[in-house]
Structure 1
Amino acid sequence: MRWALITDIHANRQALEAVLADARAQGATHFALLGDFVGYGADPAWVVDQVRQLTADGARVVLGNHDEAVVQGSKPGMHPDARAVIEWTRAQLDHEQLDFLAKLPLRAQAPEAGCLFVHANAFDPGGWEYIQGRAEAVRSLHAHAARIQVCGHMHDPMLFHLSGTGKAGDFRPVAGAAMPLPTHRQWLIIPGSCGQPRDGNPAACYALLDPGPSELDDARVTFQRVAYDVEAACAGVLASGLPAPIAERLARRLTRGE
């Protein structure tokens, strides 16, 4: 059993195509999709349909804050660019696609892998608070007994752990290097963004999780980076009429931002 952990696709068709192809080539048999399927990118309908198909095939899928915003519509006080993206995205999705997003849960579990999946955190999944460091990671790990939590929302790949004595630590992963997840610790995996990486590396992020043969065995996680056609993704944003700064941000590979 090998899980592909994919999050924050943000309507980036080119990135998702590349990640799915790589995951399948790497032997992934199970998929967890951690929200923010829409927002920013030019292909929300295509991405939502891919997610729907993966869900029908057994993937674990949870709601993201951008998905919620598109379902509910823009609100007063939003930044004009954010409002424009939300309203444009809503217009691209049909009733069935919006209904699919609206019915997504905030949490999903894979007991067979010892995993809890959420978009933002386990302590308040619908509050959309970021896990920016150890303090938030420990709070999330304390909120649920799952041995492995997997979260999106933060676009930079990261790995946190918590021992039985309360000692916490973190790792900034190296792409392609398998990391053991010993059973005497809880783990929190942030795979990084598939469609909007913001760590200065334009390659799409995801992670591969290999649970141990039993709950007594160590699991293993490998963070992956996959090159894709960034220029085509930017061109699609501009051709769609979405605000130019969105394409510029993707092209410049900014390191931070919501």
Structure 2
Amino acid sequence: MRFAAIADVHGNHLALEAVVADIRKHGVTEIVNLGDCFSGPLTAGKTADILLALDAVTVRGNHDRYLIEQAPEAMHASDSAARAELVDRHLDWLRTLPFSAVYRDEAYLCHATPAADNIYWLESVSPDGHIYQKPIKEIEALAAGIDFPLILCGHTHIQRLVRLSDGRLIVNPGSVGCPAYDDDLPHYHKVEAGHPFASYAILEKVDGVWLPIFRQVAYDHMAMAKLAAQNGRVEWACGLATGWLPQVRS
């Protein structure tokens, strides 16, 4: 049994096209999407058309929620840029997305954690902005009651695999379209993949055991970096071009 997991496309249609092509090249026919589909200063409308046609099992991310809950004038710049490109059918699709889902009675899907769509599950942030892997007991506490062998989450854009003490696996497939970002909560920090490639994972069950194959896919990332720069988002441009953010906060 094999399927692909994508997450955090963030309105990058070129990265999404490349990832879908790579998935098909590997003979995988089914895809799950862990949310944060459109937010960003890129090509939300084109991305939406691809995702709606893909018809993947999809859960709602925090930025997906912002796009349907917040007034445009109250949105963060990335959400506002995406909202301007989306039409009614795209927003209607977002409204149908569940907070979580179960795929083929094997995998639990959520964007961030089973309790919230904007909390890091596998990582913590220190007061001085360093990101580190969360202690296993804290990770397991958030997994209480999720009785599936495979648990998939996104949100942090970092590819990671954690095996719980009872054998359950938690997998973050990484970000398709946004390899670097910063955030002010819970403390100011940067998340940087260190490369500009599109990331996803193939999940395969072999002899009763689920294992991820983490994939990185090359695409025309410089085209998206130039678009972000044209739209006045220097930090996005740098992240898309290199996988790193500017050293000085913009």
State the shift of 1:72 in Å: 1.9
1:157 is matched with which residue? 159
RMSD of equivalent CA atoms: 2.3
Alignment partners' CA distance in 1, 2:40 and 2:137: 29
Instruction: Say whether residues 1:200 and 2:191 are aligned partners.
Output: no
- Aligned counterparts of 2:168 and 2:96: Cα–Cα separation in 1: 29
TM-score (norm 1): 0.79
> Whole-Å Cα distance in 2 between the matches of residues 13 and 87 of structure 1?
17
Q: Give CA-to-partner distance per residue, 1:67-103, whole Å, 9 cap, x none.
A: 1112223589x7xxx7222222212111111111122
Structure 1 stretches of 4+ moved >4 Å:
none
Matched, 1:64 2:61: yes
**3-state SS of 1:125 partner:** coil
Counterpart contact for 2:195–2:242, Cα < 8 Å: no
Distance 1:135 1:246, change over 3 A: farther
**Cα distance in 2 between the residues matched to 1:95 and 1:138:** 39
In 1, the alpha carbon distance for the partners of 2:138 and 2:112 equals 10
Judged with a 3 Å threshold, the aligned counterparts in structure 2 of structure 1 residues 225 and 204 are, in CA distance, closer, same or farther, namely same
Which residue in the other structure is 1:191 paired with?
Answer: 173
Cα deviation for residue 211 of structure 1 reads 2.5
Matched, 1:116 2:98: no
Q: Work out the CA distance in 2 between the residues paired with 1:129 and 1:65.
A: 9
* Structure 1 residue 238 corresponds to structure 2 residue 229: yes
What's the % identity of the aligned pairs?
Answer: 31
Cα distance in 1, alignment partners of residues 236 and 204 from structure 2: 35
Q: 1:84 to 1:189 in 2, by over 3 A?
A: same
Instruction: Output the CA distance in 2 between the equivalents of 1:243 and 1:255.
Output: 11
Q: Does structure 1 conserve the Cα–Cα contact (< 8 Å) formed by 2:11 and 2:38? A: yes
The residue aligned with 1:167 is none
Distance 1:136 1:119 in 2: 18
> Which residue number in structure 1 is paired with residue 50 of structure 2?
50
The alpha carbon displacement at 1:50 in A equals 1.5
1:83 aligns with 76
Distance across 1 between alignment mates of 2:232 and 2:49: 21
Distance 1:136 1:120, change over 3 A: farther
1:175-211 Cα deviation digits (max 9, x unpaired): xxxxxxxxxx100001111111232021111000112
Secondary structure, aligned partner of 2:31: strand
Q: Summarize the Cα distance change of 1:204–1:8 in structure 2 as closer, same or farther, 3 Å threshold.
A: same
Preserved contact between residue 62 and residue 107 of structure 1 (Cα < 8 Å): yes
Matches of 1:63 and 1:218, distance apart in 2: 27
